Amino acid sequence: MTSRDHLSDLFSLDGLTALITGGSSGIGRAVAGALARAGASVVIVARKERELASTVEELTADGCRAGWVSGDLGTRDGVRTAAERAVAVFGEPDILVNSAGVNLRPPMGELDDDVWDTTMAVNLEAPHLLGQRFGPGMAERGYGRIIHVTSQQAHRAFADSGAYGVSKGALESLARSQAEAWSPYGVTCNTLVPGFVMTPLNARLSSDPEKVAALAARTMVGRNGLAEDFAGAAVFLAGRSSAYVTGQSLFVDGGFSSH
């Protein structure tokens, strides 16, 4: 066996289908690109059609099999509609990546019902509903990978964690519950935990050079994260070589959490 064949056996996603929410920008876009270039047929679900079309155009130009669905993940009906429309593109997914999120973080004393409800709907309830829709089917087929993108604030409070931190902490608990339910049937459930990553979701912080520098100084590698830093970890967790990794939180943060 050549080294190329060995790597393909470990990390190829040929023949698999992936659904990625929030896949038109930031970490979600990088993950969608990584999975598609590893061989998966990829369906991206997000709101903005222009960004969705641009992402898919880039992937198809590279020879990937990709499609998109515009959907509102802030309501139960919106999530369910988006899920069925996504299935119509390439069929039932083998891989589900929940990267869509909202980043509303007023000071705790100013956190109102609307912010709480919106945050929980997109960051927590949508991943739950998509898991309920696709997890049992994955288990029945004997293969599945569920990956949630969470946050440092699932583990520690800073920068007005508020509802955002609560939603991400609960999302990690959801992953463990899903792992307990479906891992005996070949479905692993894990989370990717970013540090501070220069993406549109973090525009508020990334516009402040002093805060950006201070966050970089908290890492061990001396820089903040980039969306492409998640490509390798996502391919690993989505593929066959991670069959014995489940219920885990994989920190992709340059040592931020250990420093």
DSSP string of 55-91? Answer: HHHHHHHTT--EEEEE--TTSHHHHHHHHHHHHHHHS
164 is catalytic: yes
**Other beta carbons less than 10 A from residue 232's beta carbon:** 13
- State which H helix or E strand residue 68 sits in: strand 66-70
Catalytic residue among 143, 164, 185, 244: 164
Spatial separation of the C-alpha atoms in residues 39 and 223, rounded to whole Å: 30
Helix extents (H) in the chain: 3-11, 26-37, 49-61, 76-90, 113-120, 126-141, 162-182, 203-206, 209-217, 231-238
Q: Which residues are catalytic?
A: 164
